[in-house]
């Protein structure tokens, strides 16, 4: 689905700092609420003025859209303007493996071993799909605890 920039500005309160979920070399990720009430994570890519940048972004969106697997976050949509490149994903309320390990109450143990095993297997299955079963094959290139998101 193609979102308008206005829709995503409204959803994220004009990309307010209070809605930042994370940041990285790619840009920032914001929590947002769409007009239908659903929560999303909006990845705002850093502006890179490169020749053919729009075509490259469109190609990436198409590739990501084709990667459908139960252990991968499904792209909900995108927005592309002359100045903005945005990707819209479902919001994962349980955060990342990194946030679970870092932001737990002092008396609460870190993730138990059965949970760690489920997370590791799910991550491996998602990567295996991208590397071996997806057409075209996709290499993730940024696998880390902060990028492994948790559902229920």
Digit-by-digit pLDDT tens for the chain (152 residues) are 999 999 999 999 999 999 999 887 788 999 999 999 999 999 998 876 666 677 878 888 998 899 999 999 999 999 999 889 999 999 999 999 998 888 777 777 778 899 999 999 999 999 999 999 998 899 888 899 999 999 87
Please tell me whether 1 is known to bind a ligand. Answer: no
Contact 118, 108 (CB under 8 A): no
Dist. CA 120–CA 112, nearest whole Å: 12
| Structural fold of domain 5-147 | Phosphorylase Kinase; domain 1 (3.30.200)
Catalytic residue positions? Answer: 142
């Amino acid at each position: 689905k193609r979102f308008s920039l206005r829709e995503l500005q409204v959803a994220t309160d004009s990309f307010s700092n209070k809605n930042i979920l994370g940041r990285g070399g790619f840009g920032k990720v914001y929590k947002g609420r769409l007009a239908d009430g659903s929560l999303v994570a909006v990845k705002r890519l850093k502006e890179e003025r490169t020749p053919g940048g729009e075509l490259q972004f469109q190609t990436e969106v198409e590739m990501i859209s084709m990667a459908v697997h139960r252990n991968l976050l499904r792209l909900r949509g995108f927005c592309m303007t002359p100045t903005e490149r945005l990707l819209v994903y479902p919001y994962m309320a349980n955060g990342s493996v990194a946030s679970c390990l870092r932001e737990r109450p002092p008396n609460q143990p870190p993730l138990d071993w059965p949970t760690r095993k489920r997370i590791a297997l799910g991550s491996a299955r998602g990567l295996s799909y991208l590397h071996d079963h997806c057409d075209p094959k996709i290499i993730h290139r940024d696998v880390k605890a902060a990028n492994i998101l948790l559902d229920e």
